Every structure is written in C-alpha cells, then in structure tokens.
C-alpha cells in the first residue's frame, strides 16, 4: 500500500515555522500565511494536514485555533490538530474550529484518565496518540520536558485502551533533514502490526519517504523538507497521481 503523505504546518504567532529538535530558540519562519500553504498543498493532491499549535504546546491551553478554523473553512483538507489540548474545552474548540482528528501527547502522559475518556467519547478514529520521544523516553510540553516513561511500553498501554493511530516523532531527528528513525518504527510495528503508525521527524527527501514505505509504515508527516525545497510540489503530484 502506498504511504500516506501528511504535510505539517507548525504555527507560532499565526505563522508557519519549523523547529530543530523541538528547540523553540532554533526556529525558522516560512510563509506567514498557513492558509495559503494549505491551499497549495490541496492543489497538488494532498488530502490530509497535520497542524500543530506550538504556542499551545508550550502553554496551558489551545492558542492558534483561528488558523485552524481558516484552513478548515477554506479547504477540503482533513486536519489533525495538536498542541495545547489539555482540557475538555480545548478539545471542544479544536473540533468546533474544524479539526477532523486531534493528537494528544502531553495529556496522555500527565492526565491519562482524561485522555482515555476522550478516546471513549470520540473513538479511535478521531483521537490520535502523540508519542514523541528522545532516546526512547517520552517527552511532553512541546518537548520541553522529558519523562521517565519508556516509549514502547507507553504505546502498548494505549493500544490496550483502544488507540489505533499513533504519531511517533524521534525528537533527535526532527527538523534535521538527515533521515527518519526507520528502525524505531519497524520495532513498533513488530509489536503492533495493525497499528496505524504515522512516522514524523527527520524526513529530508522522497527517498526517505520511500524507505519508510518499504518498511511498511502506513503514513508520514514531514514539513521542513517541503519548505526548504528538498521535497517539491511536483514530487507530491507524482506520488499522489
């Protein structure tokens, strides 16, 4: 099966940015209009978008919901939204502003009871587990905090709760354009072959995406490679044709 391509739009102050290894001090701004980026991606056959509220991830609540609403209102893209989703109200705002799915990372670590309740209410099609890790230890709060949780048991515990979609980012590779953590994703899929695993971090070219596809990874998120021109719109057209 062809791997699903999911471009990322990370937002700070309403602008598209990319971080390196999750470091807010190593950020680079690109097109200031997330909506225009989203429209261009839709025009080349992209169907799904990963939108991250980095202001929200680093704070205690959702922040850039207006950008989400603009993209959802003016495109037909299926949006999964993450960053700053810590309360029922945050979740309500995200869905009301047009998110088809939401990703919970910090909440799944710090408040498992709430996250599991969301999973029960909205189902595994709409609630995605964000499992971001450095040295196989789960990181939270916009990657500003490390936990003592081991990545693989953490994923397994939520698979047992009914999670079917997981976005896994190897923080050490994120934004570095030096290749994704293929071996890590293979290890996860060996334990959970039916998991809809979404790889994230390190993608620097279509060759990297091909490696993930050959490893059986169902979907991939990428951002910096697109904004830096290492993955072109023409390549997206070819993949999606």
Contacts of 47 (CB under 8 A, 6+ apart): 77, 78
Distance CA 120, CA 210 (A): 35
Task: Specify whether 25 is catalytic.
Answer: no
In this structure, the number of other CB atoms found within 10 A of the CB of residue 37 comes to 20
CA gap 236, 7 in Å, rounded = 10
Half-sphere exposure of 11 (CA within 13 A, CB side): 29
Is the sign of the CA dihedral 102, 105, 108, 111 positive or negative? negative
Alpha helices in the chain (DSSP H): 34-43, 54-57, 65-74, 88-96, 106-110, 112-122, 151-160, 182-191, 206-214, 224-227, 233-240
Pick the closest to residue 56 from 19, 13, 16, 98 (CA basis): 13
- Residue 10 falls in the annotated catalytic set: yes
> Which residue among 10, 53, 90, 170 is the active-site one?
10
* Active-site residue, from 55, 80, 90, 132: 132
Distances (CA, A) of 36 to 43, 71, 201: 11, 9, 23
CA distance linking residue 61 with residue 92, whole number of Å? 12
State the catalytic residues: 10, 132
């Amino acid at each position: 099966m062809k791997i699903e391509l999911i471009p990322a739009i990370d937002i700070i102050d309403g602008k598209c940015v990319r971080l390196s290894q999750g470091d807010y001090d190593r950020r680079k701004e690109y097109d200031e209009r997330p909506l225009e980026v989203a429209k261009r991606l839709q025009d080349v056959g992209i169907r799904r978008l990963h939108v991250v509220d980095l202001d929200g991830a680093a704070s205690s609540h959702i922040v850039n919901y207006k950008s989400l609403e603009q993209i959802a209102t003016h495109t037909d893209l299926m949006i999964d939204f993450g960053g700053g989703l810590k309360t029922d109200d945050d979740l309500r705002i995200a869905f009301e502003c047009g998110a088809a799915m939401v990703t919970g990372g910090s909440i799944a670590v710090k408040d498992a009871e709430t996250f599991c309740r969301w999973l029960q209410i909205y189902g595994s099609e709409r609630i995605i587990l964000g499992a971001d890790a450095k040295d196989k230890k789960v990181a939270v709060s916009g990657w500003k905090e490390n936990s003592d949780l081991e990545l693989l048991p953490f994923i397994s515990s939520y698979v047992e709760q009914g999670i079917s979609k997981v976005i896994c980012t190897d923080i050490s590779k994120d934004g570095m354009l030096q290749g994704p953590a293929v071996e890590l994703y293979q290890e996860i899929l060996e334990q959970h072959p039916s998991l809809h695993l979404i790889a994230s971090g390190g993608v620097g070219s279509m060759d990297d995406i091909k490696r993930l596809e050959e490893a059986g990874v169902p979907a991939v998120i990428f951002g910096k490679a697109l904004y830096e021109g290492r993955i072109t719109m023409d390549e997206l057209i070819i993949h999606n044709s």
